[in-house]
């Protein structure tokens, strides 16, 4: 457990030594601000629904930039060799890396609280759906991060990792947007696999255990694949 | 301390290592020598459990690389080739990270940090980021991180490559210092390095161990001693001078070549066996009324042996 925390905190701090984390944070805050305030006054309602609608989408695009280097860069520079030959297991490395980027994501989410707070000064905001929405956002973001870590474990090229992670996470987000074109049975299955479907119900204020379990299974699956990929280097 | 048995590694169709077996005892400094691509790095990666061998196994301090890789890693301080470090981190921050990963905490960690910084003379760069450091200092950081948990075994992959002669001699000195209490395996393709630093040499060629000996024994094994006499020519012909030494009973061959300075001549005498011919050469010079300016004994150097082992009978082709 200690090793996981040590790896995680090193990863977390290293984000602040490079530009990527700052760029991602700026992009998220600016685009969120733009879309949020652009539509906010149209509805004339004190609600965070609009914010979540946009934030869910922005994160799907922005978070892979945080995960692309997690393992790919370590493989490219060779630092992975020193990390793995310390007394740690591959699972601890994966969990530590995941924890590090999760920490940064949590900081990012805390920053966005500025938006609901400013809304609440303009009207009577119902905080219930805000918290459940944040839980949904946290879970969906964690799933995107886990997928990004998995993509990063497959290559030593950050750009490839970024591209694969983007493709996968956008795919899972967009899945429920074309359902009208499909027969009902296929549509409901695809809808169930969609990130946005599970997230939107939480953003409405509904905390359903099934939605939580969905995201947790995606995270566990992606991390397990990343673990296998990291371990497979021993036998290659 | 290190016991490798029949290590074999295939990368797809390529065999990087074939049935390599060797032992390294506590306190030995062993040089791992071979041309690029011979299997040195592969062997080191296997010993540190970064990759698994396709066949065979190894034990480090009693722990098997398959059964207890964590114990193996705990016993080893490792410096991979090209010293991969987190360049964005500060030196102290990095060593602190490695210390924590090695299970050190609090006062114990602080004491170890101070000790390795002192041992590797890093105090002047402790607050700099690793990316700013010269290659020599980076190498010291690499050694410091390998030493932080006081491992009984050090595995250093080309610790001296890419350094200028001053830096290299500093690092060499440091390794010799460290090697007093530890078992060290270091790889290199610099032969002079091995002669100075290592008590034993393992020569590897095309994935196979072709020699395992001390540098001196290797040199003795490969070639007879030769004696080089430098003489004043004093107007005498080379053939005449050569004749003067051909009378030595134990001499197998006598060759002359021009000396380094004009007016001097060098004669190379090779004995039939391993006899010491220095006295005979002196006597021969005196009786032929030749002025002997210098006399030296040369064994075949490690470089010749290396070339011989890694291109000739050691491997199938060069």
Would you say residue A182 has pLDDT above 60? yes
A138: which residues sit within 8 A by CB, 6+ positions away? A105, A106, A109
Write out residues 124-183 of B within 8 Å (CB-CB) of A: 145
**Residue ranges in chain B modelled with pLDDT below 70:** 219-224, 258-260, 299-303, 312-318
Residue of B13, B69, B79, B84 to mutate for A, most A C-beta atoms under 10 A: B84
What is the pLDDT, as a whole number, of residue B223?
63
Tell me if B80 and A14 make a contact (CB, 8 A cut-off).
no
Residues in B touching A3 (Cβ below 8 Å): 101
Q: Which domain holds residue A139?
A: 2-232
pLDDT of A132-173, one tens digit each?
989 999 999 999 999 999 999 999 999 999 999 999 999 998
Q: Number of structural domains, chain A?
A: 1
What is the three-state SS of chain A? CHHHHHHHHHHHHHHCCCCHHHHHHHHHHHHHHHHHHHHHHHHCCCCCHHHHHHHHHHHHHHCHHHHCHHHHHHHHHCHHHHHHCCCCCHHHHHHHHHHHHHHHHHHHHHHHCHHHHHHHHHCCCCHHHHHHHHHHHHHHHHHHHHHHHHHHHCCCCHHHHHHHHHHHHHHHHHHHHCHHHCCHHHHHHHHHHCHHHHHHHHHCCCCCHHHHHHHHHHHHHHHHHHHHHHHHCCCC
The answer to whether residue A178 scores a pLDDT higher than 80 is no
Residue B50: its chain A contacts at CB < 8 A? 81, 84-85, 233-234
Q: Are B299 and B223 in contact (CB under 8 A)?
A: yes
Assigned CATH for B224-298: 3.30.70.260
CATH class, domain B2-221, is: alpha beta
Average pLDDT over residues A117-125: 82
| Nearest CA distance, B14 vs chain A (angstrom) | 12
Q: Domain locations in chain B?
A: 2-221, 224-298
- Chain B residues with CB-CB distance to A6 below 8 A: 97, 100-101
* pLDDT for res B316: 38
Residue contact A2–B70, C-beta within 8 A: no
Residue labelled with tokens 């609280």: A113
Distance (Å, rounded) from C-alpha B124 to C-alpha B288?
Answer: 64
Residues B249 and B239: beta-carbon distance below 8 Å: no
Confidence at residue B313, expressed as pLDDT on a 0 to 100 scale: 47
**pLDDT score for B34:** 84
Cα–Cα distance measured from residue B60 to residue B63, given in angstroms and rounded to the nearest whole number:
5
A7 at interface of B, judged by CB pairs closer than 8 A: yes
Instruction: Give the number of other Cβ atoms within 10 Å of residue B261's Cβ.
Output: 8
| CA-based nearest distance B86→chain A, Å | 7
Nearest CA to B140 out of B159, B164, B114 is that of B159
Asked if residues A149 and A98 have their Cβ atoms less than 8 Å apart, the reply is: yes
Contact criterion met (CB below 8 Å) for B8 and B19: yes
Give the residue from B8, B58, B86, B149 with the most A CB atoms within 10 Å of its CB, the best one to mutate.
B86
- Mean pLDDT to the nearest integer, A82-111: 95
Please state the ipTM of this predicted complex: 0.89
Task: Dihedral sign for Cα B170, B173, B179, B185, please.
Answer: positive
Contact by Cβ (8 Å): B253, B238: no
Mutate to test the interface with B, among A19, A82, A91 (most CBs of B within 10 A): A82
Look at A236 and B102 and tell me if their CB atoms are within 8 Å: no
In sequence order, the 6+-apart residues with CB closer than 8 A to the CB of B316 are: B206
Q: What is the pTM of this model?
A: 0.83
Q: Which of residues 37-76 of B touch A (CB under 8 A)?
A: 45, 48-52, 70-71, 73-74, 76
- Pairwise CA distance, residues B220 & B207, whole Å: 25
């Amino acid at each position: 457990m200690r090793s996981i925390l040590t790896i995680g905190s090193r990863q977390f701090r290293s984000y602040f030594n490079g530009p990527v984390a700052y760029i991602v944070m700026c992009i998220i805050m600016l685009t969120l601000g733009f879309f949020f305030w652009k539509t906010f006054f149209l509805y004339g309602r004190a609600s965070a629904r609009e914010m979540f609608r946009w934030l869910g989408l922005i994160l799907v695009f922005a978070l892979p930039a945080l995960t692309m280097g997690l393992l790919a860069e370590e493989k490219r520079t060779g630092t992975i060799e020193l990390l793995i030959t310390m007394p740690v297991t591959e699972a601890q490395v994966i969990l530590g890396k995941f924890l590090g980027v999760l920490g940064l994501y949590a900081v990012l989410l805390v920053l966005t609280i500025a938006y609901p707070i400013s809304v609440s000064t303009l009207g009577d905001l119902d905080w219930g759906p805000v918290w459940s929405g944040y839980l949904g956002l946290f879970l969906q973001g964690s799933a995107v991060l886990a997928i990004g870590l998995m993509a990063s474990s497959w290559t030593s090229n950050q750009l490839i990792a970024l591209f694969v992670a983007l493709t996968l996470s956008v795919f899972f987000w967009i899945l429920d947007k074309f359902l009208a074109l499909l027969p009902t049975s296929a549509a409901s299955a695809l809808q169930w696999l969609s990130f946005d479907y599970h997230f939107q119900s939480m953003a409405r204020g509904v905390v359903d255990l099934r939605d939580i379990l969905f995201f947790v299974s995606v995270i566990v699956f992606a991390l397990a694949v990343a673990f296998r990929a990291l371990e497979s280097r021993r036998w290659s | 301390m290190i016991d490798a048995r029949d290590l074999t590694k295939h990368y797809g169709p390529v065999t990087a290592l074939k049935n390599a077996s060797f032992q390294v005892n506590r306190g030995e400094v062993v040089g791992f020598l071979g041309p690029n691509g011979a299997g040195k790095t592969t062997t080191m990666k296997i010993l540190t459990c970064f990759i698994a061998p396709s066949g065979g196994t190894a034990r480090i301090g009693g722990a098997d690389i398959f059964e207890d890789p964590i114990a193996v890693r705990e016993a080893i301080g490792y410096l991979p080739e090209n010293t991969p470090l987190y360049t964005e981190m500060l030196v102290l921050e990095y060593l602190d990270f490695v210390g924590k990963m090695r299970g050190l905490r609090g006062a114990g960690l602080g004491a170890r940090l101070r000790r390795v910084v002192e041992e590797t003379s890093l105090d002047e760069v402790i607050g700099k980021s690793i990316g700013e450091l010269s290659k020599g200092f980076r190498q010291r950081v690499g050694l410091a991180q390998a030493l932080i948990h006081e491992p009984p075994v050090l595995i250093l992959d080309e610790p001296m490559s890419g350094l200028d002669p001053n830096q290299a001699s500093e690092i060499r000195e440091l390794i010799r210092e460290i090697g007093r209490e530890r078992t060290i395996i270091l790889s290199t393709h610099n032969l002079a390095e091995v002669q100075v630093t290592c008590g034993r040499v393992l020569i590897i060629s095309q994935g196979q161990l072709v020699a395992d000996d001390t540098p001196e024994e290797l040199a003795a094994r490969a070639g007879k001693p030769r004696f080089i006499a430098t003489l004043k020519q004093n107007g005498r012909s080379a053939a005449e001078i050569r004749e003067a030494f051909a009378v030595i009973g134990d001499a197998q061959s006598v060759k002359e070549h021009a000396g380094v300075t004009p007016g001097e001549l060098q004669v190379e005498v090779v004995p039939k066996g391993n006899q010491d011919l220095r006295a005979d050469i002196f006597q021969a010079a005196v009786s032929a009324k030749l002025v002997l300016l210098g006399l030296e004994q040369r064994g075949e150097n490690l470089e010749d042996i290396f070339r011989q082992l890694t291109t000739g009978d050691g491997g199938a082709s060069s």
